[in-house]
Structure 1
Amino acid sequence: MKTTKPKHYIYFIKEELPLPEAHLVQSTNAANAVANLGYSTVLIYPEKGREALNPVNLIRPFQPRQIPEKLVRYYNLQEKLKVSPLPMPFPIDYIKTKFTNSNTIASKYYFRFHILPTTQIVHSRDWNFIEAAVKNGVPAIYEHHHHEDKPFAQEIVKNPLFQIAVTVGDTVRESMIANGMPPEKVVKLHNGYNRLFMERHPEAAAEWRKKLLKNGREKLVVYAGALKHFKGINVLIDVAKQLPYVQFVCAGGKEEEVIHYQQLAQEKQVDNITFLGFILQQELASLLQAADILAHPHCSGKAATFTSPLKLFDYFASGTPIVATRIPSLTEFENTKAIDAWCNPDSAAEFTASVAKVLETHPRKINGYSDSIDFVKQFSWEKRAEKILSYVDESLLPVRS
């Protein structure tokens, strides 16, 4: 009797969606790219609240369905990607034990009894889920983007089903190998850009400029990303103080981080920097195109050795001039024309001078600068997905739909 080959490419995220976290933008876009390549891709993640109490969902927790509009807008995803939220009713994650942990429930119960029968391959940043896949006879792709001083289980990483581990920095790759990852099973690949950022949005960009440029200012510098000290936000505030004729805008960050930096700017008497908080990916594309310059500051330290330049590729796709900090994860871009000025980390004076110079030498173009737009085409999420899949045994891939 002929058996049907399992068909799904499962991408597991251990957090609820949507949340304004960079790693969730990365994971959702990575899954979306695989779906765009024609594979039956299902994004699974925990779901709490009222929907988690639905008896039908509890009986049949794995039900691939159309991606909800709120996720489409939040992360700018496309319709080919399917989702299957996993119900996590009370007391899961409310009572802190191993057996009431949503990650344990997903890896040990839902995967084994509900997801496994139609799964061909698993992809995740969560080690527990990767381990569960391999132990249950399913090939796996592991994403690991940060330093972690913990040895990898040799029975997993040396298993033929463990296909490849992917990271975004050479330093992280080296630390993974030091912790027992076979060198031939770990590859460094940069993140990608979303296709929306390549499309031009002149009217929306004009609306951003009308809304954000205040007090007669005509120049706009935008930063998009996390509001963390190591990302150089303190430096950017100091830069803004030195350039009072320029409007600075930061997009991203949690509410408490936005409040913290708003207060810091007030304490330093800087009135030309605005903190927007997290904005939808659909709106971010036009904001980047509205800017005269995109800022990529960063501080020195450990984080500079592994930080993933996630937003940098969206910056490139916008075609807007970029001023960036020289850190290890960006050194390979120094000999390209895609970044217009480089600064040493921690130096507000150097960053200020670079912004002022680029404003003079690179007038804003509504259609963007072609150097960065052409350069970034090699870094689409779909091209990244193709490279990852090239390391997977062809017999272990799902059939394209």
Structure 2
Amino acid sequence: MVYVGSPQLFSGGASAIHVLKMCNAMSNLGIKVELLLPSYDKGKDIFEYYGVRPVFKITTLPSFSNSSLRHISHGILSAFYTRFKKESFDLALTRNIVYTYISTCFFGIPTIYDAHHPLVNGVAHRLFNSFKNSKHLLRFSTNSRGLGEIYLRLGLPKEKLVVAPNGVDLERFQIGVSKEEARKLVGLDAKRKIVCYSGNVYEGRGIELLIDVARELRDIVFVVVGGLESDINRYRRLAEEKQVRNFLFTGFVPHKDVALYLLSADVLVMPYTSYMTIRGGTVASKFTSPIKLFEYMASCRPIVATSIPAVKEILEDNKNAVLVEPDSVSSLVNGIRRVIAEKEFGERLAFQAFIDVKRYTWEERVKRILGNLVL
């Protein structure tokens, strides 16, 4: 298997996490994997940084620092690389639409395209229309039903579509660390209730709502783990303006260390708004599949999340989470208060989420996508 990936590495973005975790999972299932990446700083240990085992080969190709140029050039170079090594692998898996276009339309390489967002411009639409019916496009996977429906409406043959939500490494959360021990390890208050959010803090992630929630629940500490410094500074200023002092930003945390913060929490929150975005500003409330969602479930802590369509594909109100109205401070306040006040109810939700997430490991995602093609 060749995986063609072109994420921005060492940036805190979810795309790089996804690529490394998928390669790790394929290797765990006995598949020989070669990951093609744009060139990166070899002074950093990529396996250690992303918390994956060095069980697959990484090959780097020349690249540009500019994100768009990196994606395009890596797709082109990877296509030629795999063309000349075509006999050494069974198929290619990629999130790179340029690679998919060249590999299927020109080089006859058996390819699976793994889509995580809609087509971004007219060029992407033309590329998609060129390869969607190709016999060399073996499958077309999406990370949510909502996204799959978007591509079906664009003419993707239904028989090619596989819906495979993102996943989680369960072993990262089964480390025998109690809530109290986790708090000690990350330096959080051992006595106060803690509500935690992890991940990027792009527009629409609900951080401004969470600041207003913290103003209503001053006896609780709110911890935001991750985010770009520019975004964090903006929200820090907002919290200061509103005199909210029970709000903590950790700044960037390596993904391998995020689990300790989640395990230290009393409640895990996803306050997404109805206009939540992914990197680049694309509104994603109907199709996203947040990695944090599955990590929250694996943490066995009560989850309070807004009921946007993408979240409701995985979480069910009063079964494995409390789902609240998007864009509403009062709904978030009431949801958090409820799972804290009704301890047994919160524990039941957390346990059910932990049971449910076993269907969403990275290995299970690989099985859904590859099916009988390789396994």
TM-score (norm 1): 0.81
Provide the C-alpha distance between the structure 1 equivalents of 2:16 and 2:151, rounded to a whole number of angstroms: 22
Write the letter of the residue equivalent to 1:33: A
Does the 8 Å CA contact 2:273/2:327 hold for their aligned counterparts? yes
Deviations 1:14-58 (A, max 9, x none): 134333101221222122111110000112111156x6xxxxxxx
Provide the C-alpha distance between the structure 2 equivalents of 1:153 and 1:239, rounded to a whole number of angstroms: 43
Could you tell me how far 1:162 is from its partner in structure 2? 0.6
Percent identical residues: 29
Deviations 1:247-287 (A, max 9, x none): 11011211211222112211211111111123122211121
Indicate whether 1:253 and 2:227 are aligned.
yes
Write the letter of the residue equivalent to 1:306: F
1:275 to 215, 229, 249: 249
Indicate whether 1:237 and 2:218 are aligned.
no
Structure 1 counterpart SS, 2:269:
strand
Does the 8 Å CA contact 1:300/1:346 hold for their aligned counterparts? yes
Give the aligned partner of residue 160 of structure 2. Answer: 185
Indicate whether 1:165 and 2:140 are aligned.
yes
1:125 to 79, 95, 111: 95
Give the aligned partner of residue 35 of structure 1. Answer: 27
Structure 2 counterpart SS, 1:304:
coil
Provide the C-alpha distance between the structure 2 equivalents of 1:31 and 1:204, rounded to a whole number of angstroms: 31
Write the letter of the residue equivalent to 1:228: Y
User: Do the aligned partners of residues 266 and 140 (structure 1) sit closer, same or farther apart at CA in structure 2, a change above 3 Å counting?
Assistant: same
Write the letter of the residue equivalent to 2:164: L
User: Do the aligned partners of residues 199 and 32 (structure 1) sit closer, same or farther apart at CA in structure 2, a change above 3 Å counting?
Assistant: same
Provide the C-alpha distance between the structure 2 equivalents of 1:23 and 1:204, rounded to a whole number of angstroms: 29
Does the 8 Å CA contact 2:197/2:225 hold for their aligned counterparts? yes
Write the letter of the residue equivalent to 1:386: K
Give the aligned partner of residue 356 of structure 2. Answer: 375
Could you tell me how far 1:233 is from its partner in structure 2? 0.9
User: Do the aligned partners of residues 97 and 190 (structure 1) sit closer, same or farther apart at CA in structure 2, a change above 3 Å counting?
Assistant: closer
Larger Rg: 1
Give the aligned partner of residue 318 of structure 1. Answer: 299
The more displaced of 265-274 and 193-202 is: 193-202
Give the aligned partner of residue 73 of structure 1. Answer: 48
Give the aligned partner of residue 6 of structure 1. Answer: none
User: Do the aligned partners of residues 82 and 353 (structure 1) sit closer, same or farther apart at CA in structure 2, a change above 3 Å counting?
Assistant: same
1:112 to 54, 62, 83: 83
Could you tell me how far 1:173 is from its partner in structure 2? 1.4
Provide the C-alpha distance between the structure 1 equivalents of 2:233 and 2:203, rounded to a whole number of angstroms: 14
Give the aligned partner of residue 279 of structure 2. Answer: none
Write the letter of the residue equivalent to 2:334: A
Could you tell me how far 1:120 is from its partner in structure 2? 2.0
| Count of equivalent residues | 360
Structure 1 counterpart SS, 2:53:
coil
Provide the C-alpha distance between the structure 2 equivalents of 1:32 and 1:312, rounded to a whole number of angstroms: 20
Does the 8 Å CA contact 1:230/1:303 hold for their aligned counterparts? no
Does the 8 Å CA contact 1:16/1:47 hold for their aligned counterparts? no
User: Do the aligned partners of residues 209 and 271 (structure 1) sit closer, same or farther apart at CA in structure 2, a change above 3 Å counting?
Assistant: farther
Give the aligned partner of residue 26 of structure 1. Answer: 18
Could you tell me how far 1:97 is from its partner in structure 2? 8.0
The more displaced of 355-364 and 241-250 is: 355-364
User: Do the aligned partners of residues 48 and 218 (structure 1) sit closer, same or farther apart at CA in structure 2, a change above 3 Å counting?
Assistant: closer
Provide the C-alpha distance between the structure 1 equivalents of 2:311 and 2:138, rounded to a whole number of angstroms: 27
Write the letter of the residue equivalent to 1:325: T
User: Do the aligned partners of residues 240 and 212 (structure 1) sit closer, same or farther apart at CA in structure 2, a change above 3 Å counting?
Assistant: farther
User: Do the aligned partners of residues 246 and 165 (structure 1) sit closer, same or farther apart at CA in structure 2, a change above 3 Å counting?
Assistant: same
RMSD (CA atoms): 2.9
Write the letter of the residue equivalent to 2:143: V
Write the letter of the residue equivalent to 2:352: D
User: Do the aligned partners of residues 97 and 198 (structure 1) sit closer, same or farther apart at CA in structure 2, a change above 3 Å counting?
Assistant: closer
Does the 8 Å CA contact 2:20/2:50 hold for their aligned counterparts? yes
Structure 1 alignment gaps of length 5 or more: 1-8, 52-67
Give the aligned partner of residue 355 of structure 1. Answer: 336
Structure 2 counterpart SS, 1:85:
strand
* Residue pairs, 1:49-60, within 5 angstroms: none
Does the 8 Å CA contact 1:124/1:130 hold for their aligned counterparts? yes
Does the 8 Å CA contact 1:147/1:172 hold for their aligned counterparts? yes
Write the letter of the residue equivalent to 1:316: M
Provide the C-alpha distance between the structure 2 equivalents of 1:87 and 1:104, rounded to a whole number of angstroms: 11
Could you tell me how far 1:210 is from its partner in structure 2? 7.0
Q: Which runs of 4+ in 1 moved over 3 A?
A: 107-113, 151-155, 209-214, 363-366
Deviations 1:128-162 (A, max 9, x none): 11122222121111111212262554442222221
